[in-house]
Amino acid sequence: MTKWKCNYCNFEADIFSQYYWKCPMCGNPLSLAFTTTGEIIASRNIWEHYRGFMPFRPEKYRGEGFTPLIIESTSSHKLLFKLEYLNPGGSFKDRGTALAVYYGFKMMFKRSVVDTSGNTGISVTLYSKLYGLNPIIIMPREAPEGKKKVIRQLGGVVVEGEGRVGASKLVYNYVNEPDTYYVAHLWNPLYIVGHASISYEVYEEYGVPDYIIVPVGSGGLLLGLIYGFEKLREHGFSDKVPRVIAVQGYSVQPLYTAMYGRSLEGEPSTLADGIMVLNPPRISEIVSAIKSTGGDIVLVGNSEIIRAHKTLWEWGFTVEPTSAVVYAAYEKFSRKIPEKSSILLVLTGSGLKTL
Amino acid sequence: MTKWKCNYCNFEADIFSQYYWKCPMCGNPLSLAFTTTGEIIASRNIWEHYRGFMPFRPEKYRGEGFTPLIIESTSSHKLLFKLEYLNPGGSFKDRGTALAVYYGFKMMFKRSVVDTSGNTGISVTLYSKLYGLNPIIIMPREAPEGKKKVIRQLGGVVVEGEGRVGASKLVYNYVNEPDTYYVAHLWNPLYIVGHASISYEVYEEYGVPDYIIVPVGSGGLLLGLIYGFEKLREHGFSDKVPRVIAVQGYSVQPLYTAMYGRSLEGEPSTLADGIMVLNPPRISEIVSAIKSTGGDIVLVGNSEIIRAHKTLWEWGFTVEPTSAVVYAAYEKFSRKIPEKSSILLVLTGSGLKTL
Q: Which residues of A touch B88 (CB under 8 A)?
A: 68, 83, 86, 316-318
Determine whether the interchain pair B68/A88 forms a contact, defined as Cβ–Cβ distance below 8 Å.
yes
* Closest C-alpha to B330, from B194, B224, B209: B209
CATH number, domain of A238, equals: 3.40.50.1100
Determine whether the interchain pair B316/A62 forms a contact, defined as Cβ–Cβ distance below 8 Å.
yes
**Domain identity same for B170 and B313:** no
Domain end, chosen from B171, B189, B207, is at B189
**Domain identity same for B178 and B196:** no
Q: Is residue B28 part of a domain?
A: no
Q: At what angle do helices B93-106 and B220-234 cross, to 10 degrees?
A: 90
Q: Is residue A233 part of a domain?
A: yes
| Whether the Cβ atoms of residue B156 and residue B136 lie closer than 8 Å to each other | yes
**Domain identity same for B166 and B102:** yes
Phi, psi dihedrals of residue B300, rounded to the nearest 5°: -130, 160
Q: How far is CA B166 from CA B115, B144, B177, B191, in A?
A: 10, 16, 19, 23
**Domain identity same for B202 and B330:** yes
3-state DSSP assignment of residue A67: coil
Distance CA A306, CA B153 (A): 12
Select from B66, B154, B317 the Cβ nearest to the Cβ of A313.
Answer: B154
What pLDDT, on a 0 to 100 scale, did the predictor assign at position A291?
A: 97
Picking from A119, A134, A311, A355 by the largest number of B CB atoms within 10 A of its own CB, the best residue to mutate is: A355
* Closest C-alpha to B64, from B194, B188, B161: B194
Q: Is residue B142 part of a domain?
A: yes
Gap from B128 CA to chain A (nearest CA, Å): 9
**Domain identity same for B115 and B87:** no
* Closest C-alpha to A90, from B353, B307, B94: B353
Determine whether the interchain pair A355/B353 forms a contact, defined as Cβ–Cβ distance below 8 Å.
yes
Select from A86, A130, A149 the Cβ nearest to the Cβ of B88.
Answer: A86
**Domain identity same for B141 and B184:** yes
Select from B66, B205, B355 the Cβ nearest to the Cβ of A146.
Answer: B355
For chain B, give the mean pLDDT: 96
What pLDDT, on a 0 to 100 scale, did the predictor assign at position A144?
A: 86
Give the model confidence (pLDDT) of A314-339 as tens digits: 999 999 999 999 999 999 999 999 99
**Domain identity same for B111 and B87:** no
* Closest C-alpha to A38, from A238, A240, A292: A238
Query: What does DSSP assign to residue B218?
Result: S
For chain A, give the number of residues: 355
Give the model confidence (pLDDT) of B143-153 as tens digits: 889 999 999 99
Task: Report the percent of chain A where pLDDT is more than 90.
Answer: 91
Determine whether the interchain pair B153/A355 forms a contact, defined as Cβ–Cβ distance below 8 Å.
yes
Q: Is residue B62 part of a domain?
A: no
Q: Is residue B256 part of a domain?
A: yes
Model confidence band, residue A189 (pLDDT cutoffs 50, 70, 90): very high
| Tally of CB atoms within 10 A around B267 | 14
pTM: 0.96
Residue B171's domain spans which residues? 93-189
Phi, psi dihedrals of residue A136, rounded to the nearest 5°: -120, 120
**Domain identity same for B237 and B328:** yes
Gap from B328 CA to chain A (nearest CA, Å): 18
Select from B68, B150, B352 the Cβ nearest to the Cβ of A63.
Answer: B68
Task: Flag whether pLDDT at A118 surpasses 90.
Answer: no
Q: Give B287-292's long-range contacts (Cβ < 8 A, gap of 24+).
A: B287/B255, B287/B258, B287/B259, B289/B222, B289/B223, B289/B226, B289/B244, B290/B222, B290/B244, B290/B246, B290/B259, B291/B259, B292/B226, B292/B241
* Closest C-alpha to A226, from A189, A256, A193, A257: A193
Q: Which residues of A touch B355 (CB under 8 A)?
A: 146, 149-150, 153, 353
Task: Flag whether pLDDT at B1 surpasses 90.
Answer: no
Q: ∠B131-B196-B11 over CA atoms, to 5°?
A: 80
Gap from A70 CA to chain B (nearest CA, Å): 6
Gap from B248 CA to chain A (nearest CA, Å): 24
Gap from B313 CA to chain A (nearest CA, Å): 5
Task: Report the percent of chain A where pLDDT is more than 70.
Answer: 100
Give chain A's domain count. 1
**Domain identity same for B178 and B214:** no
Determine whether the interchain pair B63/A44 forms a contact, defined as Cβ–Cβ distance below 8 Å.
no
Task: Flag whether pLDDT at A107 surpasses 80.
Answer: yes
What pLDDT, on a 0 to 100 scale, did the predictor assign at position A93?
A: 98
Determine whether the interchain pair A66/B70 forms a contact, defined as Cβ–Cβ distance below 8 Å.
no
Write out the DSSP string of B282-301.
THHHHHHHHHHTT-EEEEE-
Q: Is A287 exposed, middle or buried (0-12, 13-18, 19+ CB in 10 A)?
A: middle
Give the model confidence (pLDDT) of B235-281 as tens digits: 999 999 999 999 999 999 999 999 999 999 999 999 998 888 888 99
**Domain identity same for B211 and B298:** yes
Domain end, chosen from B158, B189, B220, is at B189
Q: Is the dihedral of CA A98, A151, A63, A68 positive or negative?
A: negative
CB contacts < 8 A (A, B): 107
**Domain identity same for B252 and B316:** yes
**Domain identity same for B197 and B183:** no
Domain end, chosen from B189, B216, B246, is at B189
Chain B positions contacting chain A at CB under 8 Å are 44, 61-63, 66-70, 83, 86-90, 126-127, 129-130, 146, 149-150, 153-155, 205, 313-318, 350-353, 355
What pLDDT, on a 0 to 100 scale, did the predictor assign at position A278?
A: 87
* Closest C-alpha to B42, from A301, A142, A10, A204: A204
Determine whether the interchain pair B153/A353 forms a contact, defined as Cβ–Cβ distance below 8 Å.
no
| Whether the Cβ atoms of residue B285 and residue B225 lie closer than 8 Å to each other | no
Q: Which residues of B touch A62 (CB under 8 A)?
A: 68, 70, 316
Select from B44, B66, B154 the Cβ nearest to the Cβ of A316.
Answer: B154
Give the model confidence (pLDDT) of B169-221 as tens digits: 899 899 989 999 999 999 999 999 999 999 999 999 999 999 999 999 999 99
Give the model confidence (pLDDT) of B58-78 as tens digits: 999 999 999 999 999 999 999
Kind of pairing, strands A296-300 and A243-249? parallel
Q: Mean pLDDT over residues A42-54, rounded?
A: 97
Q: Is residue B2 part of a domain?
A: no
Q: Is residue A117 part of a domain?
A: no
Kind of pairing, strands B111-115 and A296-300? unpaired
Question: Which ipTM was obtained for this model?
Answer: 0.95
What pLDDT, on a 0 to 100 scale, did the predictor assign at position B99?
A: 98
Q: Is residue A216 part of a domain?
A: yes
